[in-house]
Structure formats: C-alpha cells, structure tokens
Amino acid sequence: MDTYDLITRNAEEVVTEEEVRELADDPDGKRVYVGYEPSGVLHLGHLLTANKLIDLQEAGMEVVVLLADVHAYLNDKGTFEEIRETAEQMKAQFIAYGLEEENTEFVYGSEFQLDEEYTLDLQELQVSTTLNRAQRAMAEIQGGETAKVSHVVYPLMQTLDIEYLDLDLAVGGLDQRKVHMLAREELPELGYDVRPALHTPIVADLTSGEGKMSSSEGVTISMEDSTEDLEEKVNSAFCPPTRDPEDDLENPVLELFEYHVFPRFDEIVVERPEQYGGDLTYEEYESLATDLESGELHPADAKGTLATYLDELIAPGRKKLREIRD
C-alpha cells in the first residue's frame, strides 16, 4: 500500500485530494491531530479515528491528541478537575489501544486556549462569523440539545486549534466536517494557512443499522465492556446477509470489520467445524463481505469472529482502565 492510500484508507472524505497527496509525498514529521472531549471511557467512535491516527503514524506523521478540557467544560461535562481526571484516563487508554507513546503528543486545550493571543483571535472570529454559520458548524455535534452561547463558541475554538497546534492535517468523524470547512473559510481571514482534513465514517447503530452508533443513545461497545458483554452486544447486532438497495440501512457488523478489524489485523480467520465447511481465512474486507452476501459465511459465524477480534483490540485498554480504577 502506498503512502497516500495508507493515509486515506477508510476515509469517507478527503479535503482536498491534492493537498493530502502533497502531504503524502513528504509525510515525515508532518503534524496531524484529532480533538477529543474528555467525557468518559473510550468507545468504538473514538477508536475509529484512533485507527486512522495509527495509520498516519505508520506513514511517518506526528500525532497530536487534543484533550479538549475547555471544550468539555463549555459542553457542561463537569468541573475542570473532573474533566482532567477523565482526560488522563483517556490518554492511558489510547496508548494501551496502540498509539505509539513516543510519537504521540497529548495536549490539554487549557494549555493554550486561555492565552491572550488565542483569546484575541477568538474575539475576532466572533466578530466576523455569523450566528447562523457557527450554529450550522456545531449542529451535528450538538445533536438535539437546546443551543447555548457556549455551543456557538465551540466550533470557533476548534477552528483556532488547527492553527495554534501548528498542524498540517486535521482528522475527525464526518460529523466534524462543517467545523473543518468553517476553519478553511475563516483561518485565511486571520492571516493563517488553510489545512487539509480527513473525515472518517460514522458507524450505524449496532442493533438497527440506522443512524449512527452512539454512547448516549442505543448500544455501543466500549473499553468498559467485559468479553461477555461484548459478545452479547455483537451477537444481537443487526446483520442481514444481503443489503436491500431500496432502504437506508447499513450492516454495522460489516462496518466494524471494515473500519476496526481489517485495519489492525493482517489476516482474519473464521473458525468453523469441518462439517460446516471448515475455517475461512480473509486477508481483505471485500472477500469477507462478498462471502456474507453470497451465503458462504453465515451471519452467526461473522458475529462470533467479530467479537473475538474486537475483544483482542480493546482488552489492553480494558486492563489499563481496571488498573487506574484500582
């Protein structure tokens, strides 16, 4: 796999392809970031972007993880003391999951977001950005909550973070797209450079195949889950053997194979008794998806295999979380 393909693997959107190809030509030492609100235990939503960060480290880039304590405070996630305690737990979980500790810079937002220069730039953005534009940028992240003034300031701070962390590339889920586009519009107005962005997919709700998997609504898988909890959740997942092109439902089991399992394992083995055809071995996602849709791979076997590999991925983080709490 060439460097550009590695950098953009499983990206839903590349903004822009030309800019990211330029980065791929000389990735060593380039800085890429994802910002995470310290709001709880890592779940599959966090880990999808973490998988992309691992790809980018493999490509030679330096990873910056913003532990966005000020953002979390603005989003009413607790006191600063509570938020920072959660942030330290998240940091330990990310390293346990597979980010290279020596090549990952963890930064608290409060380390630079309260400085005078940043604050003055934030005031200038508030003057130049319409209320409707800021609300549109935050809408998908905010969800159905009643809008507060802090929700409008939130995306303006994300815009400035890209400059103040001295970044070459921004990464986030597709729900961050409007924020990154706001940054591309507004940063030049302050005399700063535009940066490219990668947007990762949003995995569908585990039990229905609709909408998105969420830690606040429905079922998700987190590093808190025991092996038994994980197996139960995966076994109850929506997994039709074929997809009806007339509906909007996705197959979350296949999505988890595509975005979580195959990027982290060179080979996937589905263990089956000889009487049911024996083991199946896959080196690429497309082959597994084809076998599921053709009936060669039964949904129950796919789910059992998915649970095994997901458990292997989150087990180090689960262990670290228990150590911290003990």
Dig out the tokens for 257 from the structure: 């194979």
Q: Is 154 annotated as a binding residue?
A: yes
Q: Is 216 annotated as a binding residue?
A: no
Q: What angle do CA 211, 90, 326 make, to 5 degrees?
A: 120
CA-to-CA distance for 80 and 86, rounded, in angstroms? 10
CA-to-CA distance for 115 and 190, rounded, in angstroms? 17
Q: Is 247 annotated as a binding residue?
A: no
CA-to-CA distance for 307 and 219, rounded, in angstroms? 15
- Cβ neighbors of 269 (< 8 A, separation 6 or more) are 279, 280, 281, 282, 305
Torsion of CA 96, 98, 102, 105, to 10 degrees: -90
Dig out the tokens for 151 from the structure: 């929700």
Place of tokens 């083991």: 279
Give burial (CB, 10 Å; 0-12/13-18/19+) of 41. Answer: middle
Q: Is 208 annotated as a binding residue?
A: no
Q: Is 123 annotated as a binding residue?
A: no
Q: Is 215 annotated as a binding residue?
A: yes
Annotated binding site for ATP: 215
Annotated binding site: 33, 154, 158, 161, 176, 215
Annotated binding site for L-tyrosine: 33, 154, 158, 161, 176
